């Protein structure tokens, strides 16, 4: 067999041995064949440029609905609460992400939210987020009749399921967290594909709802809070199309 290789060498030129371990064309997995003078990859394998956009007021709106006050709106209140007691409350948030270019690849979406300062504001249980399926109005009331409310998503328009229940929202969790301290900022990772869907089709963006798992309620600062640094925000890492 060695004599056969020598014949091939004479006929075609001596290079790396065919089938041997000295294949000079080998390169690290994933590295593009094209490279710069220093050997770094170019083209599709070059470093991806990730951009970050922070969405805050006025792109963020929020309110909550309350079973025991089914016609009242709380869009103007500086705190929003969620629990599953007989005083059932659920938090609504919507973030306008239309500033991102259509086709942007959403790498990560992080919701930043602050717990309140009152001892009644904290409940170390799981709070989960679900995608909303119906549009709703934030309203600007503080415990006065208006919409959104437990009964209505907009003035004169009822929810498909009262209280923005399943049917008015999905039943698939897209993010969750357990707030364990008062007056603390928590970061909740939301499913990036949900935010990407809003970017691709802004008309489908009805926001999210936060639902508590247990009986004791938890309260959080809203976009109406006096301290702007405690307003809910959404931080999106994305790659241009």
For range 91-104, the mean pLDDT: 97
Q: For the chain, where are the E strands, in sequence order?
A: 50-55, 60-66, 72-73, 79-82, 89-95, 105-114, 127-132, 144-145, 152-154, 157-158, 169-177, 185-190, 208-212, 218-221, 233-239
Whether residue 83 is found in the same domain as residue 141? yes
CA dist., res. 127 & res. 186, Å (int):
12
3-state secondary structure of 78: coil
Do 99 and 30 share a structural domain?
Answer: no
**Residue 162 CA, distance from chain mean position:** 25
pLDDT tens-place string over residues 182-240: 999 999 999 999 999 999 999 999 999 999 997 778 999 999 999 999 999 999 999 99
Residues 37 and 65 in one domain: no
Give ∠ CA 78-160-73 in degrees, rounded to 5.
20
* Structure tokens that stand for 73 in this block: 């709106």
| Domain harbouring 131, CATH code | 2.60.120
Q: What is the pLDDT of residues 19-60, one digit of tens each?
A: 334 333 332 333 343 444 544 445 554 578 999 999 999 999
Q: Say yes or no: 54 and 27 in one domain.
A: no
135 and 41, same structural domain? no
Quote the pLDDT of residue 133: 98
Query: For residues 16 and 140, which has the higher predicted lDDT (pLDDT)?
Result: 140
Structural domain including 14 reads: 1-47
Do 231 and 144 reside in the same domain of the chain? yes
233 and 129 inside one domain: yes
Q: Do 42 and 93 belong to one domain? A: no
Residue 10 sits in the same domain as residue 69 = no
pLDDT at 160: 98
- pLDDT computed for residue 20 by the predictor: 38
Q: Quick one: 65 and 29 in the same domain?
A: no
Can you name the residues that pair with 120 across neighbouring β-strands?
none
Instruction: Provide the domain count of the chain.
Output: 2
Whether pLDDT at 77 is above 80: yes
Within this chain, do residues 214 and 152 fall inside the same structural domain, yes or no?
Answer: yes
User: Do 37 and 57 sit in the same domain of this protein?
Assistant: no
* Pair of tokens at residue 21: 């371990």
Look at residues 90, 82, 75 and name the one whose alpha carbon lies nearest to residue 123. Answer: 82
Say if residue 129 is exposed, middle or buried (CB neighbours under 10 Å; 0-12, 13-18, 19+): buried
**Predicted local distance difference test score (pLDDT) of residue 33:** 37
pLDDT in tens, 142-168: 999 999 999 999 999 999 999 999 999
The continuous run of DSSP H or E covering 197 comes out as helix 192-200
């Amino acid at each position: 067999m060695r004599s056969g290789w020598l014949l091939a060498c004479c006929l075609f030129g001596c290079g790396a041995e065919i089938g041997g371990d000295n294949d000079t064309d080998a390169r690290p997995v994933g590295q593009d064949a094209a490279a710069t003078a220093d050997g770094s990859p170019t083209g599709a394998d070059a470093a991806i440029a990730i951009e970050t956009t922070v969405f805050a007021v006025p792109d963020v709106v929020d309110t909550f609905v309350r079973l025991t006050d089914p016609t009242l709106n709380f869009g103007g209140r500086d705190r929003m609460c969620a629990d599953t007691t007989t005083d059932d409350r659920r938090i609504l948030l919507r973030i306008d992400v239309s500033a991102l270019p259509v086709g942007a690849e959403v790498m990560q979406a992080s919701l930043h939210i602050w717990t309140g300062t009152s001892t009644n504001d904290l409940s170390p249980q799981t709070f989960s987020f679900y995608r909303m399926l119906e549009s709703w109005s934030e309203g600007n009331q503080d415990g006065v009749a208006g919409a959104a409310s437990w009964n209505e998503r907009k003035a004169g328009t009822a929810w498909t399921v009262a209280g923005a229940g399943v049917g008015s929202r999905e039943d698939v969790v897209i993010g969750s967290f357990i707030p364990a301290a008062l007056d603390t900022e928590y970061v909740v990772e939301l499913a990036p594909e949900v935010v990407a869907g809003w970017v691709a089709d802004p008309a489908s963006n009805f926001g999210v709802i936060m639902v508590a798992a247990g009986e004791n309620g938890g309260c959080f600062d809203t976009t109406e809070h006096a301290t702007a640094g405690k307003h809910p925000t959404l931080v999106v890492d994305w790659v241009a199309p």
